[in-house]
Amino acid sequence: MTTDGDVQCRDLSGALHRVRLTDLGPFSSPASTLHQRLVTGPHDVPFLCKSVPREDGRRDPRRYQVLDNEIRVLAHLTRVFGGRIGELPALAGYNVDADEPFALLSRYVGQPAPEVVRVLDQDRKRHFQIGLLRALHLIGEAGVVHGALSLDALRWNGSIVQLVDFESAQMAGEPRRPGTGPRQSPERRQGSGAADPRDDVWSAGVLIRELVIGPQALAAPADQHADPERLRERLNGVFHPVEHRPPAAELLRRLHVAAPAVPPPDPQDGLADGYRMFDEACRRKTGAPPPGVPPTAAPPPGRGRAPRHGRRGWRRLPFAGLFGLLAKAGPR
């Protein structure tokens, strides 16, 4: 897609608008595999635009599923938190019917964690750990598993840790997708069972050990025998099997910090059916589910012309509204 000019974009109520985006240049987030640009939208509000350019999709069609997956998960998190949580990015709009599909996200905060954490003093590293655990508690309570937690997926602005790049995320209870690397839990490396927010707690334990004792922690991620006693106490149980692993809220308690409150689901939320429709569309589209979602029946015959990259167009799907920005941007 071009990020300088008018584009068709759906807001989170599902309404289609023509909005003007102005390209501010490339953006790099080390945990992302998608094409990224910074743009401004209506009222000069900055956004991060993630997309799949036509050539990228032709070389690797799986990137469409990666984008679909991030839209699906961030739509859920945005619906739960209203886009008002600094620890998480929000989804402002998307278009998956375009030849070059894209999503508009709230602009990430701060700098990539690898650029800053190595120079933090002990007190700031403690604050960083708290911020990491706050983010994991929030997504866990919302039923989301990030699935690719590393320093690359974290940002720091001096006071807030933001968890970003939900391209590999899953909803809790979905079949685990196999992962690789020393920060992955054993369950995730095996790809067995159902995704659990405590999968991310294992990864957080490895990250916390890295922060305290250095990169040598990765040589034996779960070997705590030589760790300082305070660190062993703080991570007690983190490397146990998932059913015996503490949640992020317990690790916050050990740091003498209360877990942030999570808003209860709205019983009057009339858009829950629309969210389920979005999930069903993910499952049906081209017969291939998004990552972590079991396949279902083949997609029904589409209406209208399919985009040139071969993805079936998605119909208008309702979501809880977040920003009035796109809704006020201009005529539909």
Secondary structure in 3-state letters for 42-79: HHHCEEEEEECCHHHHHHCCHHHHHHHHHHHHHHHHHH
Q: Are 151 and 114 in contact (CB under 8 A)?
A: yes
Q: Which CATH number fits domain 111-254: 1.10.510.10, 1.10.1060.10, 3.30.70.360, 3.90.1150.10?
A: 1.10.510.10
Going 309 to 312 to 316 to 321, the CA torsion angle's sign is negative
User: pLDDT (tens digit, 0 to 9) for every residue of the chain, 332 residues total?
Assistant: 666 789 999 988 788 989 999 999 999 999 999 999 999 998 899 999 999 999 999 999 999 999 999 999 999 999 999 999 999 999 999 999 999 999 999 999 999 999 999 889 999 999 999 999 999 999 999 999 999 999 999 999 999 999 999 999 999 999 999 988 889 999 999 999 999 999 999 999 999 999 999 988 888 988 999 999 999 999 999 999 999 999 999 999 999 999 999 877 654 454 455 555 555 555 555 444 444 333 322 222 222 333 444 454 443 444 433 445 564 444 44
Query: What is the per-residue pLDDT for 292?
Result: 37
Query: What is the per-residue pLDDT for 265?
Result: 63
Query: What is the per-residue pLDDT for 293?
Result: 38
Architecture of domain 5-108+265-287: 2-Layer Sandwich (3.30)
Separation CA 149–CA 169 (nearest Å): 10
Residues 6+ apart with CB under 8 A from 202: 183, 184, 185, 186, 188, 238, 239, 242, 245
Enumerate the domain spans of the chain: 5-108+265-287, 111-254
Separation CA 96–CA 257 (nearest Å): 40
Which residue type is seen at 294?
A: P
Give me 106's structure tokens.
């709230």
Task: Report the relative pairing of strands 91-95 and 144-145 from DSSP bridges.
Answer: unpaired
